[in-house]
Amino acid sequence: MLTLKLAWKNIWRSRTRSLVVVASIIIGVWSVIFLMSFSLGMGDSYLQSALKNEYGHMQVHHPNYKDDQEAKFTFEEGANVGSIAGVKAYSPRVLSNGMLSTGHGARGVIIKGIDPELEDGVSGIKAFVKEGEYLETGDQRSILVSQKLTEKFKLGLRSKVVLTFQDENGDMQSSAYRVKGIYNSGNAMVDEMRVFVDKQSLAQLMFKNDSLGNRIHEMAFMLTGTDQMDTVQSQLAALFPGELVENYKQLAPDLALMETQIKTSGYIFIFIFMLALIFGIINTMLMAVLERYRELGMLQAIGMGKPRVFSMVVMETFLLSMVGVPIGYLLGYISVKSFGTNGLDLTAFSKGNEMFGMSSTVYPIMDINLFIQLGVAVAITSLVASIYPALKAIRLKPVEAIRKL
Amino acid sequence: MKVIEVKGITKTYNPDKVPVEALRGVDLTIEAGEFTAIVGPSGSGKTTLLNIIGGLDRPTSGDIWIGGTKLNDMSENQLIKFRQKEIGFVFQSYNLIPVLTTAENTEFVMLLQGRSKSERDTRVKELLAEVGLSDKLDKRPSELSGGQQQRVAVARALAAKPKFILADEPTANLDSASTSNLLDIMEKLNHVEHMTFVFSTHDQRVIDRARRVVVLEDGMIKSDDRK
Amino acid sequence: MVFKLAWRNLWRNKRRTLITISAVAFAVLWSAVLQSIQTGTWDKMIDNMSRFYMGYAQVHSKGYWGEQSLDLGFEPNEVMSAVEGKLPENVDMVPRLESFALASYGLQTQGVLIMGIDLEEENKLTGIGNKITEGTFLKVATSSVIIGDKLAEKLNMAVGDTLVLLSQGYHGQNAVGKYPVVGLVHLNSPDLNKRLVALSLPDAQNFFGMPDLITTYAINLPSKKYLPQTMAVLKTQLDTSLYEVMDYNDLIPELLEAAKLDQASGSLIHFILFLLIGFGLLGTIIMMTKERSYEFGVLTAIGTERLKLAGILWIESVLLGVVGALAGIALCLPIVYYLHSSPIQLTGNMADQYERFGMEAVISTAFNPGIFINQAIIMFVISTVLSLYPVIKSLTLKPIEAMKS
């Protein structure tokens, strides 16, 4: 206790110098919180967009479909999948790599045959419809295209387009559709490559022998939370025996990698910033020790043991460093919160963002773990920084120290 | 010829809160070639008077002339230039720039004055020979004894070719041998080159050698004796 | 003298100066290496798109770039004769006929990019002939194709197999054809490897039913510095009511914007890093100033002009910063140079993640002296700003007070 009190008082003996160190720690903590919250937010926005638009949390396919995207690799749309606990929404899809032809040229697209209502539950596509209307079940010759495509091909509502694709026998099928709705999901890379039609209208052409039409290529699921992913996956595997059930980490390992990579880059940030701080702390404490040579010698002369002197210097360094942490927390919290409701507007870079499937507004995500990690990091940094000055302090010989000056 | 002339000098510190009258009306004239010690116990106003004479501090009232130039109205920057050209300083200790050698320290003021390289070189050699340090040209202050350091300080003070040298307790940290050696050098300079010296001191060894002793007490001149 | 004094003062406290200089060197090292990698990655991606694929500029019929319609094909001869002999030396016009098609092999189909190319000219721009991984390069008008290696993988094709192409030709006519694959090609762009089908220009013109027409002139410049001159010639010689002349800024604005955004967020991190290092530097500078108060008093007393004293202190601060920066640059040069000359090839999920964003899965650096010079300038500016502390102190210094402490 005495050591602690002495340490605290010693810190404030050289006010300016201590404040410089405290300020640098405040800024370090603050900026890591701010930067990390935004990169978590950015990564999450990308992940959510990729989940909604591409993968969902989980997908079921015919085991061969992944390698050979042939029309014949289908499976039966099972009943009751919606009642599995943890499943928020599901969407059965008939898929085809086809060509979109218009009066102004042609382009390769992925044709997604969907159950409009169920699909909306997974991808929320209905809300992205900017012009016209969303599809309805039974829409025979209606198609939903992206704004991006309408711009390229000068399409408008009710414009005629032709879809060409291969049916399950390998024959080319062509069918005319009219644009019913135009959407923009904000992910230009994906939007440009896909169109939506009613599942039934596509299935009729694709599986001519099978008029019942409950064969599908893909079933995508959104879950209520990622923590139930494993149990849902095993239930689905039981429900679709022989089919391939994969979660998004298996579907897109690189996407999962991105999550961990953002975390890793967070650790690297912290490490680099701490390394930047440690120099300042060592220098300051070294000075604090050297200019108190006489005093430290005196303390040892009157019987303060080396362990005590050592721990006093360590304590001083620790206190000096930790003073800034709560203030950095507070500033970080306030600055992240202030962007929390409106987000950080990156509209100036919107084209670049959309190209890579990220939204133009980034909402930061505050992670309590980050605060803890930072606090621990500063504590470790201060302890490491204190070793050298503390060793200096106990290595001096009392008599020499007193004689000095 | 009057080198220093002060008239009716007073100096009050802290005029607003607790006024301390360090000097209460001092008149003093120092002629060229004098070897004067200003003595007095601490708190007598000795250091204040020396600071004012050296152009380091300003009097609350009263006038001061150095070599006929009135210092009262000079700006801070003019005072710096004036000190550089007209006054040589020797302080108690830590006079020298620690990272410069003996020669470089001696040369420093001449550099400030913008003297030519050849002039600087010859004068540095002359001066250091005069103070007996010709063999220490390339030593740093930390490699010299206290007495040697003070001799370098004297050489540096002389280098400026000042009107007089102001020495504030120059022997305070020296042993007897060094003190008498330093005083010998200063006396010699006084005799041979007619350099005017003003000391502040309470060192009896200095007082004994001074030819004029001004005693200060409670901010006033108590006695002024020429030997 | 002033410099000598400042330099020696720096080494009065060797340990402290070394710690400070290492801190600066570390920051410079880190930020220069990261910046070189970042710039290198983007330069490479932009180069892959512009220099090695699209060319730094392109000429099309007016409106083609927005619509990409074959109906906007044009007679190459008109353009050629208008600009012939007026372009800078070594600038080539590379004709192309580009459109989309549906490619199928067996029961698999895939949307692809059809590129009809002039074999010789194209080779000069993209070096496509040297990037054949299997089989051979094209020959003129032999009704054969080469395809991207990833596309071949996807369609399960090998050299010798026959690809069926289906598209919409000139003015809406049907375009269908069978083409043997004579070679597989691997370009730098992952996206092209998945989608490219190249055939000789006459073959493509036949396929789309538009003999003698092309959609694009890609301009092959020996170096970017010819761009302004070339653009000027093209814009004055061609009738701009019939033709559009676009440089790579117009062709790939999203990419340039994304690069800018990424670089902006990178700069933010470097800014904070330098801020932290700046605090360390400030701490050292404050200590250097405070402990020499007496000395400054003596210097002023014996007549050192304030500006001269301020100058010494400024040089001391700047030396701390700039020497550190130079040390950092010296350390990073070999690292940057090494990565520049032998880039690291990524594999596995890491590589997939790069390719998801259309980047070549390679870590390499830009060896750009500007980056290093910038670092030195930044440290010069920071240390100059920080030197305001001792400079202001020295300008307001009262010798008596300074010597009292």
Q: How high is the pLDDT of residue B7?
A: 93
pLDDT in tens, C68-115: 888 999 999 988 998 888 888 888 899 999 999 999 998 888 889 999
Of A208, A242, A276, the position where a domain reaches its end is: A242
Q: From A170, which residue of chain C is nearest by alpha-carbon distance?
A: C107
A399 in the same domain as A370: yes
Structurally, chain A folds into a number of domains equal to: 2
Q: Residue C130: which of C91, C51, C183 has the closest Cα? A: C183
Q: Is the pLDDT of residue A257 over 80?
A: no
Please indicate, yes or no, whether residues A218 and A284 belong to a single structural domain of this protein. no
Does the pLDDT at position C158 exceed 90? yes
> Does one domain contain both A114 and A203?
yes
The reported pLDDT for the residue numbered A213 is: 65
In whole angstroms, give the CA distance from residue A353 to residue A350: 5
Q: Shortest CA distance to C379 belongs to which of C332, C336, C326, C330?
A: C326
In sequence order, what E strands does B32-140 have?
A: 35-39, 61-66, 69-70, 87-90
Dump the DSSP string for A362-375: E-----HHHHHHHH
B207 is written with which tokens?
């007082």
Count other Cβ atoms within 10 Å, centred on residue C103: 29
Give the domain-ending residue among A242, A277, A308: A242
Contact A279 C277 (CB under 8 A): yes
A177's enclosing H/E stretch is: strand A172-183
- Lowest-confidence pick of A12-26, C127-141, C223-237: A12-26
The pLDDT profile of chain B, 227 residues, written as one tens digit per residue, is 889 999 999 999 887 878 888 899 999 999 999 999 999 888 888 888 988 999 988 899 999 999 889 998 898 888 888 998 899 999 887 778 888 899 999 998 888 888 899 999 999 999 999 889 999 999 999 899 988 999 999 999 988 889 999 998 888 888 899 999 999 999 999 998 899 999 998 889 899 999 999 999 999 999 998 87
Domains of chain C, by residue range, sit at 2-49+255-404, 63-239
- At C183 the pLDDT is 95
In a domain, A249, yes or no: no
Q: Domain boundary at A180, A208, A242, which?
A: A242
For chain A, say whether C99 makes contact (Cβ under 8 Å).
Answer: yes
Per-residue pLDDT band for A404 (boundaries 50, 70, 90) equals very low
Give yes or no for A273 touching C (CB within 8 A). yes
C159 touches A: beta carbon within 8 Å: no
Q: Are chains B and A touching, using the cut-off of 8 Å on CB pairs and a minimum of 3 such pairs? A: no
Contact across the interface for A272 and C19, Cβ inside 8 Å? no
Residues A268-290 have a mean pLDDT of 88
Average pLDDT, chain C: 89
A198 contact C CB<8A: no
Chain-chain contact of B51 with C299 (C-beta, under 8 angstroms): no
pTM of this prediction? Answer: 0.79
Interface residue B177 vs chain C (CB under 8 A): no
**Residues A265 and A200 occupy one common structural domain:** no
pLDDT given at position A212: 61
A90 and A160 together in one domain: yes
Nearest to C191 by CA among C41, C49, C96: C49
Return phi, psi of residue C144, to 5°: -135, 165
The set of long-range contacts for A331-337, using a CB threshold of 8 Å and a minimum separation of 24, is A331/A26, A331/A29, A331/A30, A332/A29, A332/A30, A332/A32, A332/A33, A332/A34, A332/A37, A332/A371, A333/A33, A333/A366, A335/A30, A335/A33, A335/A34, A336/A33, A336/A34, A336/A37, A336/A364, A336/A366, A337/A366
C389, C218 contact by CB (below 8 A)? no
Instruction: Verify whether the Cβ–Cβ distance A349 to C260 is below 8 Å.
Output: yes
The residue among C108 and A378 whose pLDDT is bigger is A378
Q: Are A93 and A17 members of one domain?
A: no
Going by pLDDT thresholds of 50, 70 and 90, the confidence category of residue C355 is: confident
Looking at the structure, tell me whether residues A203 and A321 fall in a common domain.
no
Residues A108-120 have a mean pLDDT of 93
Q: What is the ipTM of this complex?
A: 0.85
| Domain contains A73 | yes
A266 and A234 in one domain?
no
Distance between CA atoms of C138 and C143, rounded to whole angstroms? 9
Worst-scoring range by mean pLDDT, A255-259, A309-313, B110-114, B126-130?
A: A255-259
Mean pLDDT, range C39-54, rounded to an integer: 85
Residues A321 and A198 in one domain: no
Q: CB-based contacts of C302: which residues, under 8 Å, 6+ apart?
A: B83, B84, B88, B89, B108, B109, B156, B157, B160
Residue labelled with tokens 């020495």: B167
Name the E strands within B14-160. Answer: 20-31, 35-39, 61-66, 69-70, 87-90
Instruction: List all chains that touch chain B, counting a touch as 3 or more CB pairs closer than 8 Å.
Output: C
Strands B20-31 and B2-13: antiparallel
Judge whether C370 is closer than 8 Å to chain A, CB to CB: no
Q: Which domain holds residue A319?
A: 2-50+256-403
The verdict on A195 and A94 lying in the same domain is: yes
Q: Which chain A residues are Cβ-neighbours of C168 within 8 angstroms?
A: 99, 101, 105-106
